[in-house]
Amino acid sequence: EVQLLESGGALVQPGGSLRVSCAASGFTFGADGMSWVRQAPGKGLEWVSGIGGSGARTFYADSVKGRFTISRDNSKNTLYLQMNRLRPEDTALYYCAKGGTGYSSPFEYWGHGTRVTVSS
């Protein structure tokens, strides 16, 4: 059974930094691309970032480019999102998802999300 368990969400001041993680199990982690998708309170889905299976290719939404960094540790089956220079508009539930890194790649599985709140 595929499981994705996010952690690390917190209340952070504007301009601060935070790293969220996603522990994966139930599939060959290094064989699949992974993504982060967020959802602000009462809003729709917004793609944040994706990474290929080896970690060599990364993709970012314009809204986070230069501030967020996606990475993965295939030896630990863990996906990360380092978020710097956080803004109030980054407040959202951050989902980890399997896939979403190509033209024929659906978001096959989703975690339950970790909440990030950016406020003073």
Partner 1 sequence: SYELTQALSVSVSPGETASITCSGDKLDDKYTFWYVQKPGQSPMVVIYEDSKRPSGIPERFSGDNSGNTATLTIRGTQTTDEGDYYCHVWDSDTVIFGGGTKLTVL
C-alpha span between 47 and 93 (Å, rounded): 12
Task: Specify the residue, 88 or 102, whose C-beta has the smaller distance to partner 1.
Answer: 102
Decide: is 61 part of the binding site for partner 1 (CB under 8 A). Answer: yes
| Minimum gap (Å) between residue 89 Cβ and partner 1 | 16
CB of 16 to partner 1, least distance (A): 26
Least Cα distance to 38 among 111, 99, 119 occurs for: 111
Q: Strand 114-118 and strand 11-12: pairing?
A: parallel
C-beta closer to partner 1: residue 16 or 115? 115
Cα–Cα distance for residue pair 47/54, rounded to 1 Å: 20
**Residues between 31 and 50 that touch partner 1 (CB under 8 A):** 35, 37, 44-47, 50
- CA–chain centroid gap for 66, Å, is 15
Interface contacts to partner 1, rule CB under 8 A: 35, 37, 44-47, 50, 59-62, 95, 100, 102-108, 110-113
